[in-house]
Amino acid sequence: DVKVTQSSRYLVKRTGEKVFLECVQDMDHENMFWYRQDPGLGLRLIYFSYDVKMKEKGDIPEGYSVSREKKERFSLILESASTNQTSMYLCASSTPRDSQETQYFGPGTRLLVL
Amino acid sequence: QQPVQSPQAVILREGEDAVINCSSSKALYSVHWYRQKHGEAPVFLMILLKGGEQKGHDKISASFNEKKQQSSLYLTASQLSYSGTYFCGTESHNAGNMLTFGGGTRLMVKP
């Protein structure tokens, strides 16, 4: 059974704090993604990675960075959290298109920045 | 640019049918449909790869009109378990499995 796990389901942080969100997948997938989900806006891509140490900006990368030191782990970093980063954060992973597979999502981390 | 989903919300009684539409301003390679129940991760429903392709399982099916850059999700004889938020994710040519998601359609099925 495929599995994408995220380190926390709920997180409360203060403005200016550095925040780490961790995502681990056990499917040996090459691609990993970080999204944020806000009501009415759906899922918006922050960053993605197609290999270890490789990263690409998504649609809304400002205020975020990522790290992929190992294939199974993809971290999202908020260098200095702000209240407008309060959101649900979803991680996903996938294999390349050849296998015509789609993205598998983790359960999400609901982040509140005070 | 995000694809546009319509309607944004729909309430059904058990047994009724619904159609959810997804329109893109870009030429599409594929359309992916997901359902997300409250507090849970989005779950993959199906992928449509070719213009005109139609797919389905159980009483949920979808079509993909490549020329119109649209996809529709059809829910027939809805069940309570169909409640949730439905998202379409569109993939443009040469996007490398990168999906752009619509804003979601919230579906509620009542007994």
Contact list, B5 vs chain A (CB under 8 Å):
42
First to last CA, chain A: 37
What is chain B's pLDDT, residue by residue, as a tens digit (111 residues)? 889 999 999 999 999 999 999 999 988 888 999 999 988 889 989 888 876 677 777 789 999 988 889 999 999 999 999 999 999 999 887 666 688 999 999 999 999
**Tokens 């989903």 appear where?**
B5
Instruction: Please give the interface size between A and B, counted as residue pairs whose CB atoms are below 8 Å apart.
Output: 56
Is B101–A35 a contact, with Cβ atoms under 8 angstroms apart?
yes
Q: pLDDT tens for residues A27-73?
A: 888 899 999 999 888 899 999 998 899 999 998 999 999 999 999 99
Chain A interface mutation, best of B4, B86, B99, highest count of A Cβ atoms under 10 Å: B99
CA distance A20 to A50: 20
Contact list, B104 vs chain A (CB under 8 Å):
40, 42
CA distance A41 to A9: 21
Measured between CB atoms, which of A40, A102, A108 is closest to B44? Answer: A102
Q: Which residue of A has its CA nearest to B1?
A: A59
H-assigned helices in chain B: none
